[in-house]
Amino acid sequence: MHVIRDWRHVPERWRGAVAAIGNFDGVHRGHQALIGRAMERAAGRPAGAVVFEPHPVEYFKPDAPSFRLTPFDAKARLLSARGLDVLFALRFDQELATMSAENFVRDVLRGGLGLAAVVVGADFQFGKGRKGNLDLLRREGEALGLGVECVDPVILKDDAKVSSTLIREALKNGRPRDAARDLGHWWTVEGHVTRGDQRGRTIGFPTANLALKGTIEPALGVYAVRVTVEDEAGAKTYDGVANFGRRPTFDKKDVLLEVHLFDFAGDLYGKRIAVAFVEFVRPERKFDGLESLKTQIAADCEAARTILAATTLP
């Protein structure tokens, strides 16, 4: 998948594309419906997606807590895995933030990107003050020769609409399996393993440590996880157990993800890993010493093994 960041300089080979438009945070099942329809409609043309970086909320509220389900790199990998040809990652800056909806359609979508058609959700809003909506997009698109198609939201069996907001709520409340149902894939965090206190080695449970940056923080506690380790030989996935929290037993205050991989031997420092959250095991709590902590970790490992042995993809 080719990534284009400047809407003013689009190579001719990518002009005439059909693109789904949105923030696509999480690339959940609703987003997948938009992307799938764009690929169907492309029919020989390039199929793409238009996203905004940074996320508009990050632009307008730079000091707000991290809320993303997928930082840009992870989002791009998920979009690429859907089979898209091109990703238009528009820099969301003052120019775009203050551009009228009409100018956005004319100058960016049709003129700059040269799109032949766009696919959006019914609640798509854009332009200065979010004054642009589906009706305006259709009206302007018709005048400019830009095709516009709306895709209905994905509705679950309980009549709830799949949304990034509900997925964030599920993760905040320790329900990663519900999040995975709506995402269509496990919620996953990625990063390079950092060196920690190495305390886990002393009690027989070495951990790989990740600091979650630029992503939402799930409920504090212990999780059954699946971990993909990348190295020169490729990628391999292991079952494991992880603690996300402040480690109150050791009076720590910063939040850290500590992951123990089952049946793994080797050095993970500096390697890139992806941790998929499968099930919440228990809340984080403080222990009165290393022995009680060690006993509980052993029980957590057994619980995680049992959960993962009975778990397939969502």
Catalytic residues, by residue number, are: 258
- 276: closest CA among 240, 246, 303? 240
Helix, strand, coil share (%) of the chain residues, nearest 5? 35, 30, 40
Query: Alpha helix locations (H) across 187-257?
Result: 199-202
- 247: closest CA among 298, 290, 195? 290
CA distance 104 to 185: 33
CA distance 144 to 78: 31
What is the edge-to-edge ordering of all strands in the sheet holding 272-283? Answer: 187-192, 272-283, 221-231, 234-245, 256-261, 208-210
Are 50 and 24 a contacting pair, CB within 8 Å? no
Query: Alpha helix locations (H) across 196-283?
Result: 199-202
Are 243 and 199 a contacting pair, CB within 8 Å? no
Maximum distance among all alpha carbons in the chain? 72
Q: What is the DSSP letter of 137?
A: H
Return the structure tokens found at 194.
């950092």
Strands 234-245 and 221-231: antiparallel
For every residue of 64-91, DSSP letters joined together read SPP--SS-HHHHHHHHHHTT-SEEEEEE
CA distance 151 to 35: 10
